[in-house]
Amino acid sequence: MTGKVKVAIIGSGNIGTDLMIKVMRNSQLLEMSAMVGVDPQSDGLARAARLGVTTTAEGLDGLLKLDLFNDIDIVFDATSAGAHKRHNDVLQQHGVQVIDLTPAAIGPYVIPAINLEAENATNMNMVTCGGQATIPMVAAVSRVAKVHYAEIVASIASKSAGPGTRANIDEFTETTRSAIETLGGATRGKAIIVLNPAEPPLIMRDTVFVLSDLADQQAIEDSIARMVASVQAYVPGYRLKQKVQFDVISPDQPLNVPGLGLKHGLKTSVFLEVEGAAHYLPAYAGNLDIMTSAALACADMMARRRIAAGIARGHKEAA
């Protein structure tokens, strides 16, 4: 089969619009079929219409009414954790694969640099922006040593945090913490997000603290460098802000880790910066860019599998 796989995006805000442009500019396997919103005046719907993409301002119900819906194989959900449950329930009934850019965490967590090829669920969750940026670093340390505790701090420009992000702060912290443990390999995780009101807006910055068993520091540094390169393959603006730092925590001066008690070992500190590609969003909004880039990588993988299996385009009707 040689055709592209048709996709739709629910959510015509900043994330959905940036994702649409990435699909149209960067993907060789995906065809942008429909942009779905609820605000007829949204810039995302207007931009989609100018680009020749079918639009509806009637939400998921409007998408279901479109004649082209039966040919759509993948739907990105860029709305909210609360709305995603219904969206997913309905789309699963129609055999559509869903890529979830909300913190709803219904499907398995997917971070392309860690487990993209290993997952093939009908709903894949992109964790959170902070999770996409920081959990690869936790996983890089886990490849070398047992990680007892990992704490991440994601600092983003306040201007890059739209209503969806602000409404899902609690879900952000819980979903990211869970993924630190599930994908990062930490026994215990913690996530913090900071909305920075500075002007001009600052590029996304992330700090990762990892407490592990003692291990070869060069081996950890090399593992981190390889992981950074893996993320850069789909997020070119992802980079280390400074050299990885190490501190040996001795048994006679252990750290009190919440939930784990007194622990000693090796503390690894990683400092990151994520600059966006500025397709639609400003370059400082690396937090949004890393989500759309990860979602695009996930969809491209889904498309490769569908094309190889010969089940893309109209497969629901054939079934």
Tens-digit pLDDT profile for residues 288-318:
999 999 999 999 999 999 999 887 655 444 4
The second-level CATH assignment, the architecture, of 129-283 is 2-Layer Sandwich (3.30)
pLDDT at 15 over 60: yes
Condensed to tens digits (0 to 9), the pLDDT of residues 220-260 reads 999 999 999 999 999 999 999 999 999 999 999 999 998 99
If we measure between CA atoms, which residue out of 243, 277, 272, 262 comes closest to residue 153?
Answer: 272
Give just the sign of the alpha carbon dihedral 121, 124, 130, 136: positive
Binding residue positions for NAD(+): 12-15, 160-168, 287
Domain ranges of the chain: 5-126+288-318, 129-283
> Which residues lie closer than 8 Å to 186 by C-beta, 6 or more apart?
138, 142, 147, 148, 149, 150, 180, 210
Identity at 38, one-letter amino acid code:
V
Summarize pLDDT for 115-145 with one digit per residue, the tens.
Answer: 999 998 999 999 999 999 999 999 999 999 9
Look-up: residue for tokens 């079929």? 33
Q: Note if 129 is an active site residue.
A: yes
Amino acid at the residue 242:
Q
Q: Where is the binding site, in residues?
A: 12-15, 160-168, 287
| Whether the predicted model's global pTM rises above the 0.85 cut | yes
Of the candidates 96, 110, 116, 129, the residue annotated as catalytic is 129
The C-alpha atoms of residue 297 and residue 102 are separated, in whole angstroms, by 16
Smallest CA-to-CA distance from 74 within 42, 118, 120 is with 120
**% of the chain residues with pLDDT over 70:** 97
Q: Which of 77, 120, 101 is nearest to 171 (CA)?
A: 101
How confident is residue 76, by pLDDT bands cut at 50, 70 and 90?
very high
What CATH number matches the domain at 5-126+288-318, 3.30.430.20, 3.40.50.620, 3.40.50.720, 2.60.120.700?
3.40.50.720
Compute the distance between CA of residue 262 and CA of residue 257 in angstroms, rounded to an integer: 6
The end-to-end CA distance of the chain, in Å, is: 17
The answer to whether 101 and 171 have CB atoms below 8 angstroms apart is: no
